[in-house]
Amino acid sequence: MAVVITDTCINCAACIDECPVEAIVDEDDNPTGEEIYYVYADKCVECVDHHEVPACAEACPTEGCIVWGDTVDGMPEHANRGANGTPVIEE
């Protein structure tokens, strides 16, 4: 499982250093070519065993920018995760 950064990202960099597993890259390293930050789903552990709440979403100043994403086999799943596409932090 993983979280996803959506196109409302303002490239503010608040999230990147908060990730305990270095799953986040900036717009220059986004493999999709989009000019926004990006989460590698095969690295994201949804902060399980690191934080109560996904640290990237907690740090992000943009409302609803980081959402729950698709399943990745073998990756940890947050106990209180919402449906895919819904914000990790509800304002």
Q: Which residues bind ligand SF4 (CB under 6 A)?
A: 3, 5, 9-15, 18-21, 23-24, 37, 39, 44-47, 54-56, 59-60, 62, 65-66
CA distance 42 to 8: 22
In the complex, least distance from residue 12 CB atom to ligand SF4, rounded to whole angstroms: 3
Helix spans in the chain (H): 55-59
Residue pair 63/9 in contact (Cβ under 8 Å)? The answer is no
Q: Which two tokens stand for residue 9?
A: 């990202």
| Closest to ligand SF4 by CB, 34 or 54 | 54
CA distance 65 to 26: 15
SS3 24: strand
In the complex, least distance from residue 49 CB atom to ligand SF4, rounded to whole angstroms: 10
